[in-house]
Amino acid sequence: MKTHDKEDFPVAQIRRYLEPGPIVLVSSAWRKEVNVMTMGWHTVMEFSPSLVGCVIASGNHSFELIRNSRECVINIPTASLIDQVVGAGNCSGRDIDKFAHFGFTASKAGKVRAPLIAECFASLECKLADDSLIDKYNFFIFEVVRAHVARVPKHPKTLHYTGNGEFVVAGKTLSRRRQFRPEYL
């Protein structure tokens, strides 16, 4: 089969080709509850202010915690945490303490009440910037108000979910920096 020979594909599975970025662990806190959820659908919406949009299913335990607190932390794990990432995505914080169960270390954030996950490569403290699409689409728009990123590795191996229980691991870096106009970097 040649690359340009195409066949019909189920539209419900197109995420295998449009996956927007790495799998993340979203931590939240409201009143005395703290939770972690695995998320695979998020997108950068603006650079300044730094806006991130994401879908959180209304049946997810984190939905009400984040909706009520109006904040969260988007934590970016590396591939070494794949089993914890999958495990946290396959259970509910209504039933277990995911921090304790999966061995996540909660670290104090600077601008939000939700904890950072120390084992993650990066943590983005977020405040809800726009809630107008939550009722209709479960779509939250957050402003990243503070970011924490490990110095090494420079290019972490992140997990990217392609559906059907399969992940792609990012790792190989191709630079074309010299071909970019400076204002587009």
Q: Is residue 106 a contact partner of residue 116, using CB atoms and an 8 Å limit? A: yes
Q: How confident is the model at residue 3 (pLDDT cuts 50, 70, 90)?
A: low
Q: Is the pLDDT of residue 89 over 90?
A: yes
Q: What Å distances lie between residue 23 and 20, 40, 58, 81, 94, CA to CA? A: 9, 5, 19, 11, 21
Q: In one letter, which amino acid is 150?
A: A
Query: What percentage of residues in the chain have a pLDDT greater than 90?
Result: 77
List, in sequence order, every residue forming a beta bridge with 43; answer none if it has no partner.
Answer: 53
Summarised one tens digit per residue, pLDDT across range 44-75 is 999 999 999 999 999 999 999 999 999 999 99
Confidence of residue 173 (pLDDT cuts 50, 70, 90): confident
> Is 18 a residue whose pLDDT tops 80?
no
Radius of gyration of the chain (CA): 17
pLDDT digits (tens, 9 = 90+) for 123-161: 999 999 999 999 999 999 999 999 999 999 888 999 999
Taking every pair of Cα atoms in the chain, the longest distance, rounded to a whole number of angstroms, is 57
Q: What is the pLDDT at residue 133? A: 98
Averaged over 72-84, what is the pLDDT? 98
What is the rounded average pLDDT of the residues 23-35?
97
Q: In this structure, are residues 27 and 73 in contact, taking their beta carbons and an 8 Å threshold?
A: yes
Handedness of CA 39, 45, 49, 50 (dihedral sign): positive
Q: Are the CB atoms for 63 and 101 separated by under 8 Å?
A: no
Bridge-based pairing state of the strands 166-169 and 159-163:
antiparallel
Q: Is the bond into 22 cis (omega within 30 degrees of 0)? A: no
Is the pLDDT confidence value at 1 over 70? no
pLDDT at 58: 97
pTM for this one? 0.92
Q: Name which residue leads in pLDDT, 13 or 80.
A: 80
Using the predicted structure, report yes or no on whether residue 176 has a pLDDT greater than 80.
Answer: yes
